Every structure is written in structure tokens, then in C-alpha cells.
Structure 1
């Protein structure tokens, strides 16, 4: 099923569109010990900005997966241009072909909320090694959302629900992540600075209109909807 907001990111070729942007990604990952022997999975990889950083900075084994064919093509183009060894897969993160216990680290940047959250978390728990780590940045309700606000946000982003912090923690525990740390970051949802872009030709005008609605929504609801960065383990 198509998601118009994801289409924006794909056709505009926006890297680092998640809350906090690529600078947050770098600051979080720089504190991690990721040896070259580690196998890393970047889910919802988009155009491959984070996967490229992982491969270049840590020289680790990186697999990047995304469901959107335009995203996958642009990621492959990025890795072909920089001769990266990142393995790009087109697939559904809710039902991946990887065997159990495949990865030491899984990265998810504003991805899980666009899926069946419980199903995806269970799938990530399955492919993650028993001593592995899930690093995720996700949208969070900072206070009670009226039904009208919920419907507006879900319609705009093509999502099913917006969880608060405690609901995220509960879903993570239900999926088998027994050790969850909330990484200290600013929680206010602001428009991320965009400095990595690879636009397609002939982008439909309605995608520009939807991008404006997205910016307007963030501006008017930044005290109500924020984000958190989670570090999760199955230990």
C-alpha cells in the first residue's frame, strides 16, 4: 500500500529526514563500539545516508533494506558511486528473509511507526542476535492526543497510531527487549535540516503540497508530538 509521505522522501531523495536529522544519527553512533566483524542492519534505509556512514566510519558489514523501490534505487546509486560494500535489499521489514540471530546491531530511524509496530518489533527481535542492540528513533506523543489530533496525524503520515513513551516501552518489552535505555536527546519535533538530497525528475505537485502540510503540522504541534531515541537489548 502506497504512503504519500514516504513518496515525498523517496522522490525528493531526502536523507536524514528523521527527527534530529543526520547529526543526531552521528552523535548516537559515535558513542557505540562497532567493530569491523559486526553485522549491521539499517531498516527503512531510504537513500542510504546512514548505511554509508556506518560502512565508512566503522568498516563493518552493513545490510540496508527498504520497501520503496525509488529509495532502493537511489541507495544503490549512492553505494555504486562511492564503491561501498553495503548490501541493499528491497523488502518488507515486517517479514524479512534473514535467518534468526543474523545481526549484531539494527538501526531504525523513524521507520517502525509507519508499520504494524508490534509485528515489526517482533521481527527485529527475531533477526537480532541474543546479545545484539536495536537503536531506534521514533515519533512519540508528549501528551494526550485528542481523537481529532490522532486522526489528523495518522492521515498525514499514513500511520496507524502514535504511541507515548510508556507505550513504546511496553511494546518493546512485549517483543523481547528486556533492557531499554532512553538516550538523552532534545525531544521536541522540529523540521530536520536537509543537506542530503537526490530529487527525481518530474515530481508531482501534490507531493510539494503535502510537504508544506507536514511542515505546518510540525510547527503547530511541536509541544504535543515529539520523539525519543531508544537503545534496546534482549539480554
Structure 2
């Protein structure tokens, strides 16, 4: 239901830190007009639009959700930006090998099959290409009851510690892996998002923001996020 809420409410910048953090992260990457970038799980297209407008790079935004795709295309059309928006899953991406200089995921892989997704990201990158991810992380292992509550509410198949993420990135073949721990916490570092409301929203989805806040408060020192950056050599 959480992902249904995001799509029906058209939440832009739902990831921790929002667009402000995205802009800070991207300052550390070598992006130019010749860069080819894939925004995995692009949602309403907020980051993809920023990349095209700020850097003039060649951008593809991809999302599995058709509602998000429609809203992303609407944004790109309104902004008159040369961004390609496609529907697809990063677990089985329809794009050919080795064509991207940078791939970005913002609170996406936590909701997907992580090994398969990272394998596809590695395949899609050029030699020397960069992968940057802002992803949900737990600060300690939890008992099965707490783990199940988190996974059930957010629709996750697993929750990873920072060590789990680093191990999987290394196993996939990435090098020069760096982690950035952002402060303040996920609960506090959540700027007001933007919304693109669908015409019809199921009544139960209006309860999700309060339930999300409850989860953030209950697991205040446990649910967190990390920014990972790495290279395909």
C-alpha cells in the first residue's frame, strides 16, 4: 500500500533528503552535456528533470509503475525537457549493455530484488561508469516481529544493514565503494515533498502518511539510510 500511496499521490522527492540531498550528491559526480544517465525508479521525474535542466545531459527515467510513468511524462512535457521516460523493471531492464556513464537510484533497490537489480545496473554501466544510490538501511539487526512489520508496511522482501549493502555491491563487482552517512536522521531529513494527485484515490491511502510517521517514530534509531557511490572498472 505504501507504493500505491506514492503513485496515487504523485509524491516527488519521497526519498530521504529529497531533491536538496540529490543536488548535493550529484555535485560530487563528473556530469557534463555528454553524460548519459539512467534514473532508476524515476517516479514523477523530479530528479530526471533536474539532471536535464541543470547539466544538459542525456537522461532516461525508468519506472515500473504506470501511474508514475504518466506523471513523469506530464512533468517532462510541461518543462519541455529532452528526457526519455520508459516503463520497465530494473530487475530485468530492456536496455542494452554498457551505455550509461551514471546510474542513480533513490529509495528504489530496497523495494526490488537487490542482487538481480545490481547485476542489471552493473551490466548497463560503461567501463568506468558510476553508480550512486540513496537507500533504506537499518542500523542494527532486528527480531523477526519487527522485521516483518517493516517489510509488510513498506512492501519489502528484506531489510539491509550498511554492511549488507556493501557486501552485495562488492560481490556484484563494483569497486571504489564509498558510504556517506547523512545527518540528521531519516525522520528529520525529509523536506516537504511535492504532489501530483491522481483523480481517484482510494480512501484507505489517506491513512498511509500517518502510518508512515508512526513507523518512522517507532523505529527512529533503527530505520535509516545511506548514500553509496561506486565504480564499474
Q: Could you state the TM-score of these two structures normalised by the residue count of structure 1?
A: 0.96
Structure 2 CA distance for aligned equivalents of residues 215 and 17 of structure 1: 13
Query: Deviations for 1:156-175, whole angstroms, at most 9, x for unmatched residues?
Result: 01111111011100111111
Q: Which aligned segments of 4 or more residues in structure 1 are displaced greater than 4 angstroms? A: none
- Write out aligned runs for 1:15-94 (5 A): 15-94=12-91
CA contact (8 A) 2:10 2:68 kept: yes
Gaps (5+ residues) in structure 1?
Answer: none
Matching of residue 173 in structure 1 with residue 173 in structure 2: no
Structure 2 CA distance for aligned equivalents of residues 195 and 225 of structure 1: 19
Specify the SS of the correspondent of 1:54: helix
Corresponding residue for 1:223? 221
Query: Deviations for 1:88-137, whole angstroms, at most 9, x for unmatched residues?
Result: 00111111111110100001000001011111001100001110000100
Root-mean-square deviation (CA, aligned residues, Å) is 1.2
Q: Could you state the TM-score of these two structures normalised by the residue count of structure 2?
A: 0.96
**Superposition deviation, residue 234 in structure 1:** 1.8
Specify the SS of the correspondent of 1:125: helix
Count of matched residue pairs: 232
CA contact (8 A) 1:14 1:194 kept: no
CA contact (8 A) 2:103 2:131 kept: yes
Specify the SS of the correspondent of 2:201: coil
Gaps (5+ residues) in structure 2?
Answer: none
Structure 1 CA distance for aligned equivalents of residues 209 and 90 of structure 2: 25
CA contact (8 A) 2:181 2:225 kept: no
